Structure 1
Amino acid sequence: MNRVLWVLLILGFTSCDNINSLISQNTEGQNPVARVDNKYLFEKDLKGLLPERSRPEDSVNIVERYIDTWIKKQLMLKHAEKNLAIDEAEIERRVQEYRFQLIIYAFEKKYVEENLDTLITDEQVKTYYEENLDNFELKQNIVKGVFLKVPKEAPKTKQVKKWLQKWDTDKQREKLNSYAYSYASIFHLNDSVWINFDEMIANTPFPDQISNKVQVLRKQRFLEASDSAYVYYFRINDSKIADQTSPLEYVDMQIRDILMNKRKLALTREFENKIFNEARRKNEYEIYN
């Protein structure tokens, strides 16, 4: 029987828990499952390929794709070597350089993970924000507000508007929260979070009704629209227009990522310099004229 079919047959009728152990039993035998000229793909090369608890049919597909990909790569390599004037020395140099980069990257990554100070304070975020305001210009309109999409057949739809207009009172908030969880198809009730205005009103009638978004955001605090199936309510508590400076809380996570990346780079450079200076102190290298 064809070796590929044999492996796939095993994968199809063996529980996924036993697949890896079954494959490993044939490691020493070097049983091939595919060949391109004198290059072979062995059963041992498939070990660890399959995720645990995968279904037999999924396992078959994974192995088939892996074998097909391996064959295509070998054929492309064969034709490339045949039809290109290859500088073997240059290829080897690049392979070594890539290997060095991978090893150094793994080494530095481990060092950074073990030594990086991951605590970034609110004060550090605020300081970076204030020193780099020009880098935080908004590219879109953002709002703080409350949004609900309610089926027309839902009860008390007219009451929703009254609750939204009195949103500042705890009593109205509680009523609207309870209503939203019971009847709304989609809702956003966290009015302390800045959100992208265009994303919030996408797939609603609002974009067709609003001719000037900037004017609406500056003057209106309540929007209502409907289609054949739903009523849409949007209470706008605050807004920022594109080209204005982003509020600090809107870019808080972005700044934390920036500061963390800066720390990683600084720690990496410090580590490289430490190794370099230590080697120089111990006379572990020299440069010949």
Structure 2
Amino acid sequence: MRLVKIGTLKFLLVGTCLLAGLLCISCDSFGKKEPEREVVARVGEEYLYLDDISDLFADNLSAEDSIALASNLITKWATQRLLLSRAKFNLSEDKIAEFESLISDYRADLYTRAYKEALVAQSEDTLILDSELSEFYEKERVNFRLQEKIVQLRFIELPLQFLNREEVTERLRRFNENDLRFLDSVGVQFRKLHFNDSLWVPVSRILDEIPPLTAENESDNLKKSQFIELEDGSGVYLIKVTDVLGVNEIAPLSYIEPRLRQVLLNRRKMKYLRELESDLINEAIRRNEFEIYDNAQENTITN
């Protein structure tokens, strides 16, 4: 192990590839000796190696910038190690033991969580049938109450000087197949349009899209089967409301379907993990890899 002075770090960072080549050439052709790692700093018995930090340097860094970055990385590494050393020296043994237990638990949790997520991703069935969704909705529908008013509507925003306003208004009101084809054909002239009146939309989103509608006047305007015309300094808004559901009413399935599918997927995932853990314990007992001693249980209960 060879120590490297900070002053020479510039050459190590810039010439890493050259150094690797020289090391390979100098290796014994018969023994295939591992190249010696370059040390750039030491704190106590811990060492920071060049290959620990070399990947953090961009190819387009100048030599001066590489030196500055290396100095910062080394200082940060040394400060962390020194603080950790002082902390272990000054903290009580009980506190250190507590931290070590937490670290051990966290490490185990990281490994097991990653393993379980990999198993779930490999085997989880993500297909939720419509029949499952409908059954779950009907069973739990009383729990799906709206927190916000929702509306089904279609609307168009026209420029203030739009010439064919009367025909567009009439066709948006009536809205048969011919009307829809006509409105689609001239839709490029509209500033905004929304024709999907089977889609439930929260009122907060409607207020964002139609500025003349406000929290103060929306209840007077957004009523079932109502047609309204509003205007502001930027445009004319033609709005046909087809249906409205208020706060605390039961949310329609189509509105909450994505959330319900996720709930069912999460339940399926939890069931799979419970079965996985149960199978793991049973398999370990069968293989004599896991055993609970009766006296340990008795001592636990009595204590």
Same fold (TM over 0.5): yes
C-alpha distance in 1, partners of 2:43/2:190? 60
Displacement of 1:113 after TM fit?
Answer: 1.8
Partner of 2:235: 230
Partner of 1:195: 201
Alignment of 1:208-287 (within 5 A): 208=214, 211-219=216-224, 221-287=226-292
Asked if the contact 1:145/1:235 (under 8 Å) is kept, the reply is yes
Moved more, 232-241 or 135-144: 232-241
Partner of 1:186: 192
Work out which of the two has the higher radius of gyration on C-alpha atoms and give 1 or 2: 2
Greater RCO (Cα-Cα under 8 Å, separation 6 or more): 1
The one-letter code matched in structure 2 to 1:231 is V
Displacement of 1:69 after TM fit?
Answer: 8.9
Question: Which string of whole-angstrom CA distances, capped at 9 and with x for unpartnered residues, describes residues 188-230 of structure 1?
Answer: 222221111221221533334x645345333552222222222
Partner of 2:210: 204
Please provide the CA RMSD for this pair.
4.0
Partner of 1:136: 144
After TM superposition, the score normalised by the length of structure 1 is 0.74
Match of 1:171 among 157, 174, 178: 178
Displacement of 1:134 after TM fit?
Answer: 2.3
* Identical columns (%): 25
* Structure 2: runs of 5 or more not aligned: 1-6, 24-34, 62-67, 296-303
After TM superposition, the score normalised by the length of structure 2 is 0.71
Partner of 1:60: none
Alignment of 1:62-101 (within 5 A): 75=79, 78-79=82-83, 82=86, 85=91, 87-101=95-109
Displacement of 1:145 after TM fit?
Answer: 1.6
Between the two proteins, the alignment pairs up a number of residues equal to 266
C-alpha distance in 1, partners of 2:155/2:17? 56
Question: Which string of whole-angstrom CA distances, capped at 9 and with x for unpartnered residues, describes residues 142-177 of structure 1?
Answer: 11121222322344233321121111x101111112
Asked if the contact 2:224/2:243 (under 8 Å) is kept, the reply is no
Displacement of 1:2 after TM fit?
Answer: 9.0
Partner of 2:133: 125
